[in-house]
Chains A and B, each alone.
Chain A
Amino acid sequence: MPDEHEFEDFYAAVFDQLVGQLFLVTGNLQDAEDAVQEALTRAAVRWPRLRRYRVPEAWVRRVAMNLASDGFRRFRRRLAVMVRLGADLESRQAAPLEVPGLMDALRALPVAQRKVVVLHHLLDLSVEEVAAELGVPVGTVKSRLARARGTLAARLDPGAGAEGPHAQEGAGNHG
């Protein structure tokens, strides 16, 4: 089954990396793992087609990002209730080490803003690419980035944030 071997390689290459990215969006590891795992399961169903994509990883990330949106907590809760296996609840792993201040600052942002921050600042996608990936207008991406950077500047670098113009300058430079 060459398709399956190919999927196994793909899974091994992207799982950890995508969980890392999704963690910045969800703010907790369990949700990030669940979103990536569900997205990869959907990818496995469609693998004969997806494998021909130039970057199948982008498809998986988009699905995982969608799952990480509003309501995902409830979705995950439903899955857990359906499974009802005590073992799953008992085997919780430790949370990853957190970069000082960063996760608190990210958690202060709405999920939609966290997504644009990750796609633009971590993955270096252009504003147009972020808009295409999230399926929202370019202007929306710009305004989310501006608001997110304003909040992050104030929380990560309070001294600079208090001066206002510095934060505004940062917010206006991109997009």
Chain B
Amino acid sequence: MADLRDRLAAQAEQAARAARGPGAAATLRRARARRWRVLGGRVALSLLLVAGLVSLTGRLLDEREPATPPQTTAPAPRGVAPLWTTGGAASEPLAPQDRTLRAAGDLVVATTGFGGARGRAHAYDASTGERRWAHRTGPNAFVTAVGGGWVVVAPQYGPLIGLDLATGKERWRFELAEGQGPESGTIAGDTLFVGTSFPAEGAVDPPVVYALELATGRQRWRAVLDPGTDLEWAAPVVDGGQILVADTLSHQGSAPASHLHALDADTGRRRWKADLHAPEQGFFAEGPVVAGGLAYVASASGMLVAVDTRSGREVWRDEGGFPLVAGVRAGLVIALVGDRMVGFDPATGARRWQTPVASGTGEHWVVLDGDAVLATAGGGVVAVDAATGATRWRAAVGDAAGRPVAAGERVYVATRDRLVAVDRASGREVWASARLRLASAPVVTSGRVVVATGDGTLLGFAP
């Protein structure tokens, strides 16, 4: 032990030599942005409050209808006020993830209390913003799954809590082991499928997938996967009689590679596992996309891998850049790969078309919208024809902070500081909110577009 200090110093020096950071200038820019976000959020909410009061007073005086969205021929108004805000009802910080806000029929379910002990799940009437119920959950909770009249929520390290969606009454709890954290879940019929991981530093405990009876929370089966891996946030994908989940390395060198696993939906027995050729750690919020007997999955190595869902055999792979898979449309697998939207032949992986959409800053999301595909990239949203790859429109609305949502005649995008509505056919901006510190992608339900701000306030806009 006498030379422990020398060994530690030698190792620290080796690591210091390999260290690489963005630099002081970039750090100062980030720090300035943070200061402005905090300040801007406070100012924006004060303005919103004033705007809301003015609007309410005006309506009481002359009984006018709420403002309708303007015609697309007029200049797009900015600073559009919400129809309702939840005020202080959820005035704790929201987890900065898109899985904190979910639409469920005429309700919107949100979790608050990220970073503190007072975590809660709340349900709001999407139409009016009235709070229907709140349930104490424990710290850092998120909505695990919604469906079949149920909402399942879980704090960072469990338990899984089954709530009656209509009343918020707790019906069951499913306890997890110490340090075991749940990922997103999938409700299929009367069963909840959910994966769990052990995310503590240094932990290499294998992930566990559970099938729980939705009505009681009783375990039907559990499947233990490979040591040294974690499951990703992506909810398990139900593919006929099997469940598909992809894992990733817990940390560098903790396992040889990540895999796509197929588990029997009735028993949890492993049917096959496919090598994703990824000896790195990856972080993906989406699971595999399944269509026509193939599963298409992005690997941490930046490959798009197509796997036969019956055998687990790899059918093809594309190594042309990190993919975000939108899905299958017009007979093609469509993915955002680097700075291009690409249409792949589903059987062979041949590139049928590719369209530059520009990358750059902001979050990259790609979603199908009818016969088009929408991507947030390059400081805005772009719509591309799924069959030909032709660009239909671009809307320079700013860097996206979450997935775009198409509903009715609009596409809604939460940018870093505004909620923006663009015309679904032309991409023309129709309206935008006042400046907000947004923390969620929009959800659309019951004729409202709902977003959450960083301090846990929910805002409901007319479409």
Q: Tell me the A residues contacting B by CB distance below 8 Å.
A: 4, 7-8, 10-12, 15-17, 19-21, 23-24, 26-33, 36-37, 40-42, 44-45, 47, 68-74, 76-78, 80-87, 89-90, 92-99, 102-103, 107, 109-111, 117-118, 121-122, 124, 149, 152-153, 156-157, 160, 170
A96-B15, A122-B8 known; A83 vs B363 contact (CB < 8 Å): yes
- Give bound CA distance, A32 to B15, whole Å: 9
In contact, B322 and A89 (Cβ under 8 angstroms) = yes
* Minimum CB–CB distance for B121 against chain A, Å: 19
Contacts of B322 in A (CB 8 A): 86-87, 89-90
Q: How many interface residues does B have (CB within 8 Å)?
A: 60
Question: Which of B13, B31, B252 gathers most chain A CB within 10 Å?
Answer: B31
- Give bound CA distance, A64 to B437, whole Å: 26
Contacts of A85 in B (CB 8 A): 359, 364
A20-B12, A96-B14 known; A152 vs B1 contact (CB < 8 Å): yes
8 Å CB contacts to A: which residues of B237-257?
A: 250-253
- Give bound CA distance, A72 to B5, whole Å: 26
Contacts of B1 in A (CB 8 A): 149, 152-153, 156-157, 160, 170
- Give bound CA distance, A107 to B35, whole Å: 37
Contacts of A118 in B (CB 8 A): 8
Contacts of B35 in A (CB 8 A): 45
In contact, A37 and B21 (Cβ under 8 angstroms) = yes
- Give bound CA distance, A51 to B250, whole Å: 37
A23-B11, A86-B302, A122-B12 known; A78 vs B17 contact (CB < 8 Å): no
8 Å CB contacts to A: which residues of B242-289?
A: 250-253, 280-285
Residue of B nearest to A9 (CB): B24
B9 at interface by CB-CB < 8 Å: yes
Contacts A73-B201, A84-B365, A86-B324 known; list 4 others, CB within 8 Å: A42-B31, A70-B201, A74-B156, A102-B11
Residue of A nearest to B95 (CB): A78
* Minimum CB–CB distance for B229 against chain A, Å: 12
In contact, B252 and A28 (Cβ under 8 angstroms) = yes
B16 at interface by CB-CB < 8 Å: yes
**Residue B22 contacts which of A8, A37, A90 (CB distance < 8 angstroms)?**
A37
In contact, B201 and A31 (Cβ under 8 angstroms) = yes
**Residue B17 contacts which of A26, A71, A96 (CB distance < 8 angstroms)?**
A96
A86-B338, A117-B8, A121-B5 known; A41 vs B31 contact (CB < 8 Å): yes
In contact, A78 and B97 (Cβ under 8 angstroms) = yes
Contacts of A87 in B (CB 8 A): 322, 338, 359
- Give bound CA distance, A69 to B156, whole Å: 14
B293 at interface by CB-CB < 8 Å: no
* Minimum CB–CB distance for A71 against chain B, Å: 7
* Minimum CB–CB distance for A6 against chain B, Å: 10
A20-B19, A156-B4 known; A70 vs B300 contact (CB < 8 Å): no
Q: Tell me the B residues contacting A by CB distance below 8 Å.
A: 1, 4-5, 7-25, 27-28, 30-31, 34-35, 96-97, 156, 179, 181, 199-202, 230, 233, 250-253, 280-285, 300, 302, 321-324, 338, 359, 363-365
A41-B30, A73-B199, A89-B322 known; A21 vs B364 contact (CB < 8 Å): no
Question: Which of A70, A102, A110, A170 gathers most chain B CB within 10 Å?
Answer: A70
* Minimum CB–CB distance for A131 against chain B, Å: 20
* Minimum CB–CB distance for B376 against chain A, Å: 9
Sampled A-B contacts (8; CB under 8 Å): A7-B27, A16-B16, A24-B8, A32-B19, A37-B22, A96-B15, A117-B8, A121-B4
Describe A's contact surface by its main secondary structure.
Answer: helix
Question: Which of B1, B30, B97, B251 gathers most chain A CB within 10 Å?
Answer: B1
Residue of B nearest to A42 (CB): B31
**Residue A41 contacts which of B17, B27, B181, B233 (CB distance < 8 angstroms)?**
B27
Contacts of A36 in B (CB 8 A): 19, 21
In contact, A20 and B15 (Cβ under 8 angstroms) = yes
- Give bound CA distance, A117 to B4, whole Å: 10
* Minimum CB–CB distance for B196 against chain A, Å: 12
* Minimum CB–CB distance for B252 against chain A, Å: 5
- Give bound CA distance, A96 to B19, whole Å: 8
Residue of A nearest to B233 (CB): A81
A30-B252, A70-B200 known; A23 vs B15 contact (CB < 8 Å): yes
A37-B22, A99-B11, A110-B202 known; A71 vs B156 contact (CB < 8 Å): yes
Question: Which of B4, B230, B284 gathers most chain A CB within 10 Å?
Answer: B4
Contacts of A71 in B (CB 8 A): 156, 199-200
- Give bound CA distance, A81 to B97, whole Å: 9
- Give bound CA distance, A21 to B280, whole Å: 23
- Give bound CA distance, A10 to B31, whole Å: 15
* Minimum CB–CB distance for B305 against chain A, Å: 15
Contacts of A97 in B (CB 8 A): 14
Residue of B nearest to A94 (CB): B18
- Give bound CA distance, A149 to B202, whole Å: 18
In contact, A122 and B18 (Cβ under 8 angstroms) = no
A86-B364, A121-B4 known; A8 vs B25 contact (CB < 8 Å): yes
A82-B363, A111-B202 known; A11 vs B15 contact (CB < 8 Å): no
In contact, B13 and A20 (Cβ under 8 angstroms) = yes
**Residue B30 contacts which of A30, A44, A74 (CB distance < 8 angstroms)?**
A44
Contacts of A30 in B (CB 8 A): 252, 281
- Give bound CA distance, A89 to B13, whole Å: 25
In contact, B199 and A74 (Cβ under 8 angstroms) = yes
A82-B363, A122-B5 known; A33 vs B20 contact (CB < 8 Å): yes
